[in-house]
A and B are shown apart, each in its own frame.
Chain A
């Protein structure tokens, strides 16, 4: 390495190398876990110890997955579920950020209302589904409403906490440069709480997906949850597993995108 580069780079390089080696090892372990899981699965499926229907062979799952992917009905249902989850997350996030800011900014409001949010947030939203059906009908709207409610709590609570955790000195800096209230909001408060808000949205996304899918399995005539129901009624277990894999991938992908955004924001 050139002498000039060595001056600033010499110390960090060995650590980086070590870190890279570690990341590679972690990656290998993950691969091994997947292969081991697949191998054990296939072994059990062929062992004949279970009904073939309970642990179907990987080949039949792969075939089912392929059949799903070329089936237009699957894509239509997927679209419905994603639309519901996205709409739910948007509504829940917007309401959650607004309410969270109010609760975080005003100590009185926070003290008065936050316990309700806190204690209500872990209750399973699905028990409200019958009420949502009465209010919004059996179509998409009731699932969106329930999903919005589910994501709202996570976003509101973490926004309120994020607002309170803002480093006070940063607010003083804004004041000392005589920022206007609008500038304080957009250039100090919002960026300062971006990480808790994004964390809330990530949790909210999970909640929205779960709730929407669950509601679909309860009462609907479209969406992935509805598909799960009908497939189960046909006892088409390989397709059920194929659908599960797809839902895993979707949830993982959404989470990865939000995680990437959160890392970029740091």
Chain B
């Protein structure tokens, strides 16, 4: 574990401080040796039980790559991602993923969507419906059990996806910009829902996002990533009191945290913007 970069203890005190998830010197390049692009560059941090950690960075900082590595979707990478000392090399039962894209099954009703992981495990129908109903209620979709995804709004579909992942009882909830496609108000309200659920279940969560307010609203700690190659720039503690609601966005402390992280992020984001503009110009010259 030598090089694990452990930040100062988070403001919330947790009795079990032994990390559930350790990201240790993780490294990933894409492409051939000569034209290799480093997506994730020796990233280290960890997540403790019950903690909500956000990874934030500009587009092109390798956050999605990191999401895929932790979710076991990318088998080959350098360094270690460990859960209980076990190195991740494929989808791990302790990790529940929520994807950025709309990912409900359109041919299944809400309850059958949510019960899907239990169905795979061969849980009897009545029991899996009971458990599915519990989580459908938790994400605030009671009464919609029999509806199909095509009858739901974008925000409701993402809540179905979240319930579907929660029903599999993951020790780590891993989410990749689950609200990216939603409008700001829906996002704030869903943030409330997430905070509620996280506090109710003491759900350890790792959220990948590019949204500053979302990260500060939800997190205990924020890992700020640099633009390509993606390194850890800083790990910030968010000591806003819990239980939290979206009202927190009006507070001075919230503003200070946002400003503080934006300070680090601005440089990276503008670097990303300049580079993509250069690429666009070069493309235009080439015709």
Contact = CB atoms under 8 A, between A and B. Distances in A.
A250 interface: no
Given A191-B107, A194-B107, A265-B107, A179 B99 contact: no
Interface string B147-171: 0001000000000000000001000
B138 interface: no
A192 interface: yes
Interface stretch (B115-123, B179-187, B211-219, B220-228): B115-123
A169 interface: yes
A175 B119 CA distance: 14
B93 interface: yes
A191 to B, nearest CB: 5
Given A172-B99, A178-B91, A178-B93, A192 B107 contact: yes
Interface string B105-132: 1011000000011011000000000000
A177 interface: yes
A183 interface: yes
Contacts of B267: none
A169 B103 contact: yes
B58 interface: no
B116 A170 contact: no
Interface residues of A, number: 18
B91 A176 contact: yes
B232 interface: no
A45 to B, nearest CB: 49
A180 to B, nearest CB: 8
Nearest to B100: A169
Nearest to A194: B107
A266 B168 CA distance: 26
29 contacts: A167-B101, A167-B103, A169-B99, A169-B102, A169-B103, A170-B103, A172-B73, A172-B99, A172-B103, A173-B97, A173-B103, A173-B105, A175-B91, A176-B72, A176-B73, A176-B91, A176-B95, A176-B96, A177-B91, A177-B120, A178-B91, A179-B120, A180-B120, A187-B116, A187-B119, A191-B105, A192-B105, A265-B107, A266-B150
